[in-house]
Amino acid sequence: MSKFQIDWQEVARFMLLSRELDLVEEKLLAPQGKIIYQFSAKGHELSQVLLAQTLDHPHDAAAVYYHSRPYLLTSGLSPATALAAGMARANTPSQGRDTGVVYNIPRQTGLTVLPASGNVGAQFTPAAGWAQASLYYRNVLSESDWMGTIVVAHDGDGSTATNGFWAALNIATTLNLPMLFFIEDNHYGLSVPTDLQTPGGNIAANPTSFQNLRVIVGDELTVISWGETVHRGLAAALNFPGQVTVLDLRTILPWDKETVLASVRRTGKALIVHEDTLTAGFGAEISASIAAEAFTYLDAPIQCLATPDIPIPYNVPMMEAILPSVEKIRVTIEELLEY
Ligand SMILES: Cc1ncc(C[n+]2csc(CCOP(=O)(O)OP(=O)(O)O)c2C)c(N)n1
């Protein structure tokens, strides 16, 4: 993944194409008995087409599931193959061996779609394997063309109850793998509501204690932080499920500017939280970069919560009083969301 450029005309074209294929299957092929199941991608189109446009590195890869057709169409799957696969025809990716809509695309010009199966949760292990291999190419074999690769595992919220999900999360955070867990949360696994398989029903809140995990939970505001205030930011963000992305920078020299800019361009709002003083704190640097490089995407002023320009008090309650507290962060998030 090297840049974040959206071709909106193409986005519209692939979204409409995907929707049209669903309608052909729903209205024609299913009633005629030519497909056994119809795996609708309705509602999945926008996020997947945007994701496919973002993954542009030749070694980027994805492991997909049965709702991934918009993503695959954007990555080079032809509409004819898409329909033929659903009908279990020959010369289609699984040649009728598996649910038609789980495809794989060996790398030709675009990215690789790893071999998939209809099993819920089967995507995470191959994706983690690809990510680990990419680090090997990059760090051990010193093949510089593997720099900047990322692998995505697509699945639904139900899959976060599977062994594959947790095992991959464990190794991805242990080895710091370049891996994105792209979970499409429609609040149900078939007819089972999320709160019956996830404490509190918030699938993003569940894995937040994993180290080296940059948690992405929402799309209306980006909270940028590092160190202790990450935990406060996460605690505050849990009050706004699905609305707030919390980025843990982990280092500020270098800092992950690309991730910050990509996220702010997506959410349109930025809140920086740190323990350093407001004046000359590193938040000012981040704020300046967002203003310079993502200004036209902003829907609200960039905000920074930091300590006032005073020495940090030794007395604990006094220290707590000046640090950005969970409550102060929560209130600021609320104000920014309402802006
Ligand atoms: C290993 C396995 N167990 C059970 C199933 C049957 N099954 C198909 S879809 C599904 C629900 C998946 O829910 P979720 O991950 O939330 O995806 P959604 O379809 O809601 O996007 C289940 C249990 C399966 N395909 N694979």
**Ligand 1 atom nearest residue 157's Cα:** 16
- How many Cα atoms sit within 13 Å of 26 on the Cβ side? 10
CB 259 near ligand 1, within 6 Å: no
The dihedral formed by the CA atoms of 33, 37, 42 and 48, expressed in degrees to the nearest 10? -130
Letter for the amino acid at 152? Answer: V
pTM: 0.70
Report which protein residue has its CA nearest ligand 1's atom 11. 189
Other CB atoms within 10 Å distance of the CB of residue 272: 28
Question: CA–CA separation, 154 vs 164, rounded Å?
Answer: 12
According to DSSP, the residues that pair with 242 across neighbouring strands are 218
Please give the Cα distance from 246 to 231 (Å, whole number): 10
Structure tokens belonging to residue 145: 């063309």
For ligand 1, atom 26, the nearest C-alpha belongs to 119
Rounded to whole angstroms, how far apart are CA atoms 172 and 38? 33
Q: What is the pLDDT of residue 2?
A: 45
- pLDDT score at 108: 66
Q: Is 145 in contact with 59 (CB distance < 8 Å)?
A: yes
CA torsion angle 229 231 232 233 (round to 10) = 80
Please answer whether residues 304 and 284 qualify as being in contact, where contact means their C-beta atoms are separated by less than 8 angstroms: yes
φ, ψ for residue 298 (rounded to 5)?
A: -80, 135
Contact 260, 289 (CB under 8 A): yes
From 120, 155, 188, 194, the mutation candidate for ligand 1 (largest count of ligand atoms within 8 A of CB) is 120
Residue 118 near ligand 1, beta carbon < 6 Å:
yes
For residue 189, how far is its CA from the centre of ligand 1 (angstroms)?
6
CA of 29 to the centre of ligand 1 (A): 23
Rounded CA gap, 187 and 40, in Å? 16
Residue 104, both tokens: 């794989």
Q: How far does the centroid of ligand 1 lie from the alpha carbon of residue 76, in Å? A: 25
Measured CA to CA, the distance from residue 288 to residue 278 in angstroms comes to 13
Q: Which amino acid is at 252?
A: I
Structure tokens at 51: 């994701």
- For 221, residues 6+ apart whose C-beta sits below 8 A from its C-beta are 240, 243, 244, 245, 267, 269, 270, 271, 333, 336, 337
pLDDT (tens digit, 0 to 9) for every residue of the chain, 339 residues total? 445 678 999 999 999 999 999 999 999 999 999 998 899 999 999 999 999 988 888 899 999 999 999 999 998 899 999 999 888 888 888 787 777 778 878 776 667 899 888 889 999 999 999 999 999 999 999 999 999 899 999 999 999 999 999 999 999 999 999 999 999 988 899 899 988 988 888 888 788 778 877 667 678 999 999 999 999 999 999 888 889 999 999 999 999 999 999 999 999 999 999 999 999 999 999 999 999 999 999 999 999 999 999 988 888 889 899 999 999 999 999 999 999
CA–CA dist 245, 157 (Å, integer) = 18
Q: Give 86's contacts (C-beta < 8 A, 6+ positions apart).
A: 25, 29, 35, 38, 39, 100, 101
| CATH no. of 214-339 | 3.40.50.920
The predicted structure's pLDDT at residue 1? 47
Does residue 117's CB lie within 6 angstroms of at least one atom of ligand 1? no
Written as six digits, the tokens of 79 are 């509409």
Q: Where are the domains of the chain?
A: 214-339
Please work out whether the CB of residue 98 comes within 6 Å of at least one atom of ligand 1: no
What are 138-170's pLDDT values in tens digits? 999 999 999 989 999 999 999 999 999 999 999
pLDDT at 313: 86
CA of 120 to the centre of ligand 1 (A): 5
What are the strands, taking DSSP E only, across the chain?
Answer: 61-63, 112-113, 151-156, 179-184, 188-189, 192-193, 218-225, 242-248, 270-277, 303-307
